[in-house]
A and B are shown apart, each in its own frame.
Chain A
């Protein structure tokens, strides 16, 4: 009898613990090129801010697309879409030639396209922050639209993209600075520009594309306390 009671108490405590962990706002971070360990570093910073954070490398687009619906923060570091100099931006590349893109206007790369415009009205409207660290992620592509703009149109609070080429090493450095700074209480815009300035004196000298960041939405917002975005 005593043993049964002990097991029952243990189960209750486990259930409470599970509930309290799952109640934390979820975040997902993706490294989808040779960008490790930025996703993991972001995860660590987000965890210390009180988020229930995960990171993954080279996942399939559908996985990220589905998880996006339960995210408070979505961070991607990898390749951006580039057909040619007149048609660039509007998409981010995951493993096995799978893509998340802004919208479908008849053209798409690979066999596995997933579109932001296909989300329902409330699917991602409680996402607090999206960061697309990829070439031309804040650039309008006549074939696939504008990734930041379409993301914002679905109700996300804050979205960051880049309007030029960004290369891996400076992207990593910017990411490290950005997540470290938001963890320390800087607003999203402060963190983005201070991380940008940090990149300048990292070798080789220069901004190398990280100065083309664009922020849409509540740029003065902070990520603490951990929470979902506004509906």
Chain B
């Protein structure tokens, strides 16, 4: 009797595990994703149209047109991971936030849209005013979570119109970390490996960041991302970007400058 009870319990446990695994890996479907877009844009008059499904290493998304831009919804979590608002490019000229004001606008938006932003160790790693010529300009703010000195895939980008302060675009990636954070390869050794990718380079500048990257679909890897510049050769800038596996020392990507 006891034996039968244990077997029955095991069967129930296995069933629950299988069902929850299926639910966790099943796409939410276009209709639910569409509701998520509606919640995100918070405007009942918006005409949301499904466009397609896009696959990247960081995950798959449903993409929607809102008539005023695009919204990307994670196929499995339902989280809005990217949004753009075309009308925000138009400058009303009413508000002109200074750089501190612009950062505040961007931060408030990040806190509103990105779950747990305030509780995570989000570092502002870049803030720039980007001039796109006749197509306008944008103030770009980029945050990335840092854990034990490692940049994680958890990141928020908010680009705002520098004149009106309106949000032009948003990117918010949130993933559970499932790779080791301790490198086997030192920064010094990583820089040596990177230098070997550009034979004959006379290095003038180099930077290295320990970061978790999705180097293959769904696969997190601890990497050194190296930027290396060298003296020009034949009137062309030398160096580029190198991504090195921080555990094995393998150069995963070498991308010279154009």
Which residues of A are interface residues toward B (Cβ below 8 A)?
33-35, 77-84, 88, 91, 93, 97, 109-110, 133-135, 138, 148, 163, 165-171, 189-190, 192-194, 197, 200-206, 208, 211-217, 219
Task: Pick from B213, B243, B258: contact of A79, CB below 8 A.
Answer: B258
Q: How far is the CB of B100 from chain A (nearest CB, A)?
A: 22
Q: Within 8 Å of chain A (Cβ to Cβ): is B11?
A: no
Contact at A167–B240, with CB atoms within 8 Å? yes
Q: Which of B74-90 contact A (CB under 8 A)?
A: 81-82, 84, 86, 89
Q: How far is the CB of A143 from chain B (nearest CB, A)?
A: 10
Beyond A79-B258, A203-B57, 4 additional contacts (C-beta under 8 Å) are A135-B258, A167-B255, A197-B84, A204-B241
Q: How far is the CB of B18 from chain A (nearest CB, A)?
A: 31
- On whether A170 and B255 interact (CB within 8 A), knowing A201-B56, A203-B213, the answer reads yes
Complex CA distance for A151 and B128, rounded to whole angstroms: 27
- On whether A168 and B255 interact (CB within 8 A), knowing A82-B235, A193-B169, the answer reads yes
Which residues of B are interface residues toward A (Cβ below 8 A)?
56-58, 70, 81-82, 84, 86, 89, 128, 130-136, 140, 142, 144, 151, 153, 155, 157, 169, 171, 173, 211, 213-215, 223, 225, 229, 232, 234-237, 240-241, 243, 253, 255-258
Closest residue of A by beta carbon distance from B157: A200
Task: Pick from B57, B140, B151, B234: contact of A202, CB below 8 A.
Answer: B57
Contact at B171–A79, with CB atoms within 8 Å? no
Complex CA distance for A88 and B255, rounded to whole angstroms: 20
Residues of chain B with a CB closer than 8 A to A192's CB: 132, 135
Complex CA distance for A194 and B71, rounded to whole angstroms: 11
Q: Name the residue among B169, B214, B258 with the largest chain A CB count within 10 angstroms.
A: B258
Contact at A166–B257, with CB atoms within 8 Å? yes
Closest residue of A by beta carbon distance from B152: A205
Complex CA distance for A205 and B211, rounded to whole angstroms: 9
8 closest A-B pairs by CB: A214-B133, A109-B235, A169-B255, A219-B135, A215-B135, A82-B237, A189-B135, A167-B255
Contact at B234–A135, with CB atoms within 8 Å? no
Task: Pick from B82, B84, B89, B258: contact of A171, CB below 8 A.
Answer: B258
Q: How far is the CB of B142 from chain A (nearest CB, A)?
A: 8
Closest residue of B by beta carbon distance from A133: B258
